[in-house]
Structure 1
Amino acid sequence: MAQPPRLDGAPGYRQETLDSLLGPDGSAAPAAQALSDTVFVVLDLETTGGAPDGGGITEVGAVKVRGGRQLGTFGTLVNPGERLPPFITVLTGITDAMLAPAPRIEAVLPSLLEFLRDAVLVAHNAPYDVGFLKAACARHGYPWPRPHVLDTAALARRALTRDEVPNRKLATLARFFRSAVEPTHRALDDAKATVDVLHGLIERLGSFRVHTLGDAIEFAKAVTPTQRRKRHLAEGLPHVPGVYVFRAADDRALYVGTSKDIGTRVRSYFTAAEKRARISEMLAAATRVEAVECAHPLEAQVRELRLIAAHAPPYNRRSKHPDRVVWLKLTAEAYPRLSVVRQLADDDAAYLGPFSSRRTAELAAAGMYDAVPLRQCTLKLSPRTPTPACALAELGRCPAPCEHRISPQEYASRAASPFRTATHGDPGPVVDALLARIDTLSGRQRYEEAAVVRARLVALLRATVRMQRLDALTRLPELIAARRDQVGGWEIAVIRHGRLAAAATSPPRLHPRPTLDMARATAETVQPGPGPVPAATAEETERILAWLELTDTRLVDTSGDWVSPIRGAARFSTLLAKAEAAAPGKEWSVRPALTDRSDDARSHRL
């Protein structure tokens, strides 16, 4: 529990919220535990008033129950070590004389914590009572057992209407449920009254399809009527890795997601933790949830991407249109130029990408124009017939191939070759040229212009690093890898040209080879194609790369060498991270970056 300091230097305590009282690991109680089988300790405290760090406990009362039967009681006065305020004496009838011989709270806590052990703590306005107990434990060195907590006041706010009860005070609820004990502002009496209120609320919860402890704790939170009405959609789903699809009445896919545990993840959409407006709208339209079980989380991630691409669900924001990417193409002509295209062609042109938007591609192209003398016009130039030059030639920004001031061979060497080399090999010359320009502009205190060039460098270098990573994997006709799962088995993936062709899981204590051979034999046939992502989307291949690069993933077999250029774009990863982290418009120190980048130059043979 957070302990904000007080002005006098003593540790402070604050009243807890319901979300902080849910269980040992901060999660809801076990969903399968029936309320009729749950042991509850219904607690009430009387205090000197105020907040936990400004008052003390004067009386403790607790009743242990299960299945409607009382199992035990706990009650004692507590000496708070201070005089009682007069209004507390009037309210409770407890006097200083009554408290003088009573034990101090540090002597009561061991017995009380033992009484609470392994039970669900119930209280009316639970954050108040739990706040005092946690403060007392912290003050006297007792670890808080972090029981699951159920608040009868919160349950009543959800289960009872204003027409039934005018308020949710304990006395009002005790009368409504005809409690055998009337609340008297004495701890044990109030705890016994709360027991009757709890039992009455549990009966009422049945009409809301709340039958388990986990359901009751979630029900007590601020869920919407739609979430409460549709929570049955989460019933019966498997607790395995996979993909889930929320579908509408006409069977349209509304939302696609993935999880290591489908049942638990879908259940979370019907809890108070889910506050997204678009998800609330989606739940209102959903009529069923379809589960697609997968061998392991990698297959689930890939299937999610493919389903989103196939159905474009309206409530998914990402990965809906993987085909909407663009590429920078260096045209195959006498004087090549850069062109933004939507598809790869099986030709002799050089490509860089994929880019998620035309703007990003044009930003990377501008970086190339800053680094090498590529022409920026869109004319198709003839090596025989000259064409009048544009203003860029007069400004020295173009070697004017249109007027044949440069031969096709020299143009290829100075302009076209650096692009080809940067995309498939060493982007060092291009990076150095851009860094030199940034250094010059920074030295002249032209920081805004330097920031523009830096943005171009980031777009260009990010695309180059990405494409070389993708290209290294998609060149391989087949790669088989395995990774230990949490229960001692093996997650197996067969990858062909960067596409997940098969996935399987080998059980624990069995040799994985038969499972691996079966996965390979039944794997999808994948044909190569042009570019670095011939058989899958870039996003799918990147998910596979992330899985392959986990420290505990093992390469089993490959049909070739999985390599990247020794002086490739990957050696600029530190420089790229530094450039991405630099705030727009601020001065960026280039010299340290030039030093840092050399540290990453090494072979990437895997």
Structure 2
Amino acid sequence: MQSIWETKFVVVDVETTGSKPEYNNVIEISCILVKNGEILEEFSTLVNPHQNIPRFITQMTGITNEMTYSAPDFRVIIPELKRFFTKDSVFVAHNVNFDYSFVQKSFEKNGFEFPEIPKLCTLRLARRLIGGINKKNVGALSEYLGIRIKNRHRAFGDARATAQILIELLEIAENEHNITETEDLLQFQYKPYFSYNVAQKILGKPYFESEELPDSPGVYYFIDDNENVLYIGKAKSLRKRIQSYFTTTTSRKIIRLLRSTKKIRWQTTSTELRALIEESRQIKLYKPEFNVVSKRLRSFPFIQVSNEKRYPVFNITYEPNPNEGICFGPFKNRETAELVLDIIYKKFRLKKCKSEFDRKHPETTCLYFQTKKCLAPCLEDFQDEEYYDELNRVRDFLTNVDNGLIQTLESLMFSYADNFDFEQANEIKNQIYEVRKVFGNDLENFAQISERNFLAIYPRNGNYSGVEVLLIHNGKLVWDAYLNEYPSFEFLLEKISKFLEKNWNIDGKLSKEEMDEIRIVMNWINQHRYDLKILDVGKLLESKS
């Protein structure tokens, strides 16, 4: 059985000329691939329906006949859609039968058979997993979960919101219902559900007055009679999240948790990211009985080039030390780090020898030099600058990710696909996404831990009337705040300058706690990359002078 985190969920939203797939056609489609709780790939396009778009559809979506006139026919985009709808994927939509029927019928109309894949409905899931709100449409759920929607009632805006809703629902399903396998999740969506007030029916009294709960991010704790921490969670809104435990539920686990709970405590945080980091720390500290994931710290692989040796080489390490050389990472697993390392040594003529060496005469050089895979710094007349230039070329290759490392990986992926090795091609595709999280960012030298210094501004309520401001230094969150208005340039400079007066250097090896935080920060930044405004700390300081 496959884990819910290893499954490929394809979140789909279609806009159509009407409600009947037999007679009406698709005018826009968006597909978003979700795996491991993250968005891996996106595809969206208008489609020429070859029929009139009714006025009310245009009023709702903004899509006109003129917009779709030069759009591709559905037949043209089928090869692209086939990349998403593979036998190991799950078709996901909000009210899934509508979107599924249109996609399936559109394939059939064009002479193609749509693959038989499972369907998962986020509307059904939300009805069984989330209490506290009556409406469960995309807009209401997004508002409740703190998800920002761009271009509501357009396929991409709705699909992206639904993908983020799915990620939240998967976490709730695992943490509160012990659902870890995809087959169980698919069955759960059809499980009968009912509503009741848990606090009154089971416990006889509430733990708190609703007015006490702050409508802000934070971490909450369920505690028993002996002051043992039973469960720790984080929330974008403590009020909405904690109240949800006392409304709709079908989970025996939650009922057992509430029966064991004597009181609930919480601590507010300025930002959602701070709540994520604090939740991870507290779970690893207390190891609560009802938390099923993230109870232990783990090490992540990094790629590091050491400054200690005369001719440094790139190595994989689980104990990175930015003070001893450039560090790239953290990578999700060793396989991805090894793939990057293999590409570096195949494309660049760095020293392949593991140990130091004596100077050699040309006739005794090794096979690497003879096949032009190494500069051979072991030669008597070798100029050191040549080796350092090659190191800089590697750094540029990793930094200019789209025209360097990613381009190389994509060529490798297409090569496997051309040879019908689709399993290996898919593996490379997944690794490309992991590589992008480490190397792919608009900031120069973002991949290097010591250069990962920037401000991120996040609109909490979908606009810049209220914003979360995050100062990331060496990949870690060092300062954050919630502001009611967009911060001034002078305000940002003041905060940066005050911090940098006391804190600048990385102190020795990165601990497991630091690696865990860097990983959380990277994932959060990547997940919200479309909504963030990123400001380079170095360039901000330069503009000051």
Greater radius of gyration (CA):
1
TM-score range, shorter chain: 0.3 to 0.5
TM-score by length of 2: 0.47
TM-score by length of 1: 0.43
Which gives a bigger RCO, structure 1 or 2 (Cα 8 Å, sep 6+)? Answer: 2
